[in-house]
Structure 1
Amino acid sequence: MRRAKIVCTMGPAVESAEKVKALIDAGMNMARLNLSHGSYEEHQMRFDQVRAAAKEAGRPVAILVDLQGPKIRLARFIDGPHELARGDIFTITTDEVDGTKDRVGTTYKGLPGDCKAGDLILIDDGKVTVQVVEVKGNDVITKVIEPGAVSNNKGINLPGVAVSVPAMSEKDIEDLRWGLRAGADFIALSFVRNAADINDVHAIMDEEGIRIPVIAKIEKPQAVV
């Protein structure tokens, strides 16, 4: 099996055995299951479809289980979505608040301790960018650099900041165990920072008595320093 892979994500657009077979015929040799979305029942269905289609095609197709990783999110707003304009002041707080256009909570209680003035925060996969102006108690006060809409539970990312969240959430650990028991060929770990994060995955694998390759997704600067 070649080392370079043509990877396709198995999602709602690929709901039939015929479509999976067409992907294999087109050159797919790794099927990705994104554990950020969907139920185990849905993933198992796609898992079985890939195995059956690969067998029918007589070609090896690996299955990659991609773990969500630690996801930091905005909390909920009273209403919205809200459009943030360039230069607006937008506060993210660890207090329990009813979110407004000016101030909203976050799921990550360590945010004020990890941020400092000048840090960038990307919201909704970078669709909105804010820059930290000041950290005051539980509030991270920011100014909007790249305008856009914000709404309930959007993900936030701190590209240059070493956040102090674990490499795997409880959900990730359960998803990892599911993938190992299902017979996955590869595991992908999101937001890897150092070798200790990979070792955490290996520890779960050892508990399950199954060792398969781990793909480290390099999404943080700490991973390459």
Structure 2
Amino acid sequence: MSGSTPWAAMCGLPQVRSRACGGTGAYIGAGVIVTLLCHTLVATLVPPHPGSRTAVASPGMTHLPPAEYYATLPRHIGGAGAILHDTHGRILLVEPAYGDGHWEIPGGAMDDGEYPWDTARREITEELGLDVTPGRLLAVDWVPPQADGRPALANHLFDGGPITEAHARAHIRLAAGELTAWRLATPAEWSTLMAPHMARRLDACANALTTHTTAYLHHGFAPTPDHR
């Protein structure tokens, strides 16, 4: 505004004439100059490209190339499966040809870059010979690292839809060398057929089916201060 007191002067800051505003005699306060200097200083500290290793905030801090940074992160693996169920509350289980004799939910490990939903669909086709389009997510179960060296695992369980015993007998084709049997099991049966954490996981899935919810689990348990 013509004849008005420059803002910098009102704030008690030194005034500097600038030609940056088209030679109109505008003023830049010292605070603005300090801000510009700070931006210039930061620009000299930030690496010019992702592969650089320049200190940015404090001694010892460096920018790592993405591949090297990702290599420092914890390693986790993922898996997925599908819950096929009948009108009597039974859920389809499979008996692996290997392992400790416990029955399992159809499913398996995720391939590199694969979505969990796609894993569930692929595994049902490979293990049972069925073309199933998974429905909604019923549970995610986070399993901590195991004593045998297996990393932490995030397991995703999807609704595989309804199935009858007659349809299963007519269409299931078990993966040779991988599975030896299948069955539609009741809650009482799966509590003895499956490993404890798997039975807890299946209990949560069965509840999610009837309550239209999704469960988040820690090794089969709902998270509490005792199971974290």
**TM-score range normalised by the length of the shorter chain:** under 0.3
Bigger radius of gyration: 2
